[in-house]
Amino acid sequence: GENVEQHPSTLSVQEGDSAVIKCTYSDSASNYFPWYKQELGKGPQLIIDIRSNVGEKKDQRIAVTLNKTAKHFSLHITETQPEDSAVYFCAASRDSGGSNYKLTFGKGTLLTVNP
Amino acid sequence: DTEVTQTPKHLVMGMTNKKSLKCEQHMGHRAMYWYKQKAKKPPELMFVYSYEKLSINESVPSRFSPECPNSSLLNLHLHALQPEDSALYLCASSLREGHYEQYFGPGTRLTVT
C-alpha cells in the first residue's frame, strides 16, 4: 500500500518568514495530494490540493509543488503569521478505478510561528 | 457552505454504555467517512459510505457500528468500548467517493472510562 513520509515533524519560524514542509510517497499511481491544517481542538481543514496533471498550485500565501518523477510534494507558506500555527498533514491517494479510495496521511508537522 | 457538523463535541462513557455519534452535512455530498484520530497522530480511516451504502470497512471491531440513514446524516453507534478507544472521532464528506475534496467536521472527543 501507499506510504507517505512527512518532514520535518516540528518547525518553528519567525513571523514573516517562509515555511516549507515536504512529503514523499511510495505509490507511483498516486495522483491526488491534499494538504490539511489542524488547529488545536478542531478537525482538519483542507487548505490546498494538487493533482498529478499540474506541477504547482498557488492560493495567496500558500503554494504546493509536485515532482512526480521524484515522488515528492511540498507545502510552501510565505509571510507566515501567528495564526498559521497548527499541525499540517499531507496526504496522497490514487484512483483505483473502483470504489476503493483512501487518503494516506503523513504523520504531521507542528508549525509554530513566533511573533 | 462547506460545513460538516458533529454532535456531541465531548462524550464520556463507561465500558458497558451504548452511545451514538452524529454527523450531518447539507452540501449534497454522497460520500461520508468516519475517521479515528489519536493524539499527535494523523486520522485513520474507519468507514466509508457511498450513496448511503457501506463501501469500506477498515476491519473495525464490531463494537463500532456505522449507519447512514439518509444522504445528509451519518451515525456511529458505540457499544462495549474499551479505554483504548478513547480518541477524537472525525466525520468527513466529499462530493463523491474518489478524487474529491474531503471536508472534515470538528470531531467528537470520546473518553471511555
User: B87-109 pLDDT, tens per residue?
Assistant: 999 999 999 887 678 999 999 99
Q: Min CA distance, B14 vs chain A (Å)?
A: 23
Per-residue pLDDT of B54-78, as tens digits, reads 999 999 999 999 999 999 999 999 9
* Inter-chain touch B99–A43, beta carbons under 8 Å: no
B79 beta partners:
B18
Can you tell me whether residue B51 is helix, strand or coil? coil
* Inter-chain touch A34–B102, beta carbons under 8 Å: yes
Backbone angles phi, psi at B84, to 5 degrees: -70, -10
> Chain B residues with CB inside 8 Å of A105's CB?
42-43
Q: How confident is the model at residue A9 (pLDDT cuts 50, 70, 90)?
A: very high
Q: Which residues contact B22 (CB under 8 A, 6 or more apart)?
A: B6, B7, B73, B74, B75
> Chain A residues with CB inside 8 Å of B90's CB?
43-44
Q: Quick one: pLDDT at residue B30?
A: 93
State which residue of chain A sits closest to B106, comparing Cα positions: A43
* Inter-chain touch A46–B103, beta carbons under 8 Å: yes
Q: Which residue has better confidence, A41 or A91?
A: A91
Q: Which residues contact B64 (CB under 8 A, 6 or more apart)?
A: B34, B46, B47, B76, B77, B78, B85
Residue B22 in contact with residue B73, Cβ under 8 Å?
A: yes
Residue B36 CA to residue B75 CA, distance in Å, equals 14
Output the CA torsion A18→A24→A29→A35 (10° steps): -40
Chain A CB within 8 Å of residue B52 CB: no
> Chain B residues with CB inside 8 Å of A99's CB?
50, 55-56, 97
Residue A94 CA to residue B98 CA, distance in Å, equals 8
Residue B56 CA to residue B48 CA, distance in Å, equals 5
* Inter-chain touch B104–A45, beta carbons under 8 Å: yes
Residue A76 CA to residue B92 CA, distance in Å, equals 25
Output the CA torsion B38→A31→A98→A38 (10° steps): 20
> Chain B residues with CB inside 8 Å of A36's CB?
104
> How many inter-chain contacts (A to B, CB under 8 Å) are there?
53
Q: Which cell is A66 given?
A: 509536485
Give the sign of the dihedral formed by CA B39, CA A112, CA A104, CA A35. positive
Query: In the predicted model, is pLDDT for residue A98 greater than 60?
Result: no
Residue B17 CA to residue B79 CA, distance in Å, equals 6
Per-residue pLDDT of B35-59, as tens digits, reads 999 999 999 999 999 999 999 999 9
Among candidates A46, A101, A108 on the partner chain, residue whose Cβ is nearest the Cβ of B101: A46
Buried b / exposed e over A64-86, threshold 16 CB at 10 Å, is: bbbeeeebbbbbbbeebeeebbb
